[in-house]
Amino acid sequence: MATLKELKIRRKSVTSTKKVTSSMKMIAASRLRRSQDNMMKARPYSNRLREVVSSLLDADTDNNHPFLKEFDSEKNLYIVVTSDRGLCGGFNSNIIKKFFKVFDRKKDDFIAVGNKVIQKVLKEGLEPVNVYRDAFQKFDYSLANSLGTEINNLYSTGKYKSIILLYNSFVNAVSQEVLLDQILPVQKMEVEEGESVYQDFIVEPSHKTILNGLFPKYINTLIWRGLLESFASENAARMNAMESATDNAEQMINDLTLLINKARQAAITNEIAEIVGGSAAIQN
């Protein structure tokens, strides 16, 4: 059994850990508020843009833009998005587990976004097409723009059957969902049978011209939304992980305090027993 001094040292250490996890929880909560606001602002714009593009595609069946073409290839290109830092529960492991489940090592390629997935794939001996280290340290739209430009160029080569974004979608503060979102080729919105997203727009100069101008913006917006969802999910996962760690530290402190009290009481009892025993020996 640990001595009284060892128990006190352990309790002091756990108390310091609790202060750290509590601070990290508050920081994550503050970042979650801001990142969630940005994500919620991006969702309506992204959804509306998808509706507009789908409606234009319904109206113009002759458009042969490369982004609509399904190339005769068996290769998929995955864009895998994780965080740069850890201490966020199963956030990164869920993404990586899903990636290895769908990824075919013999034919597929991938782009790694975030330090955690980069570390994992390099450890596994996989060679990514490109990596984005420290992607969320200075997080802004330029990241989505860079990714959009890169995948547009890669898809135009006809090398890939599809380009898929793999990320954590934000459901609420305690729940995230791993999503596979096909970016290219561009797909129409899924609607219920008998319904249509077609809207009678007055289009000038033509559907084809508008679509050709919209597609790059559309691709960048889908990527930007996925990145915002992932960043909000990361902060939520970190906040929950640090809250659990703080609660566990509090429980450990209570348990250690109980052990310290028992050890102190046992020491006092032993001292009293020694005094009584010594007094009895003197009297005899």
CA distance 42 to 222: 10
pLDDT at 114: 94
Q: What share of the chain is helix, strand, coil (3-state, %, to 5)?
A: 60, 10, 25
Q: What's the gap between Cα 119 and its chain centre?
A: 15
- Give the 3-state secondary structure of residue 29: helix
Residue 177 has pLDDT above 90, yes or no: yes
Q: Say whether 29-240 and 4-19+242-283 share the same fold.
A: no
CA distance 232 to 164: 20
Residue 191 has pLDDT above 60, yes or no: no
DSSP state of 67: G
Whether 147 and 129 have beta carbons less than 8 Å apart is answered as no
Mean pLDDT of 208-216: 80
pLDDT at 168: 95
pLDDT at 245: 94
Q: 193-211 pLDDT, tens per residue?
A: 555 555 566 777 777 777 7
pLDDT at 169: 94
Going from the C-alpha of 74 to that of each of 5, 64, 104, 106, 165, the distances in angstroms are: 65, 21, 10, 10, 17
Domain 4-19+242-283 -> CATH class:
mainly alpha
pLDDT at 215: 85
Q: Where are the domains of the chain?
A: 4-19+242-283, 29-240
Residue 118 has pLDDT above 90, yes or no: yes
Mean pLDDT of 123-143: 92
pLDDT at 284: 66
pLDDT at 239: 95
Mean pLDDT of 135-146: 91
Q: 105-115 pLDDT, tens per residue?
A: 989 999 999 99
Q: 238-260 pLDDT, tens per residue?
A: 999 999 999 999 999 999 999 99
Helix (H) or strand (E) holding 176: strand 175-184
CA distance 63 to 56: 10
Mean pLDDT of 92-97: 94
Sheet holding 162-172, edge to edge: 130-132, 109-113, 76-81, 162-172, 175-184
Mean pLDDT of 30-49: 91
Q: 43-89 pLDDT, tens per residue?
A: 999 888 888 887 777 766 566 667 777 788 889 999 999 999 999 98
Q: 260-280 pLDDT, tens per residue?
A: 998 888 888 888 888 887 777
* CATH code given to domain 29-240: 3.40.1380.10
Tokens linked to 26: 């508050």
CA distance 43 to 228: 10
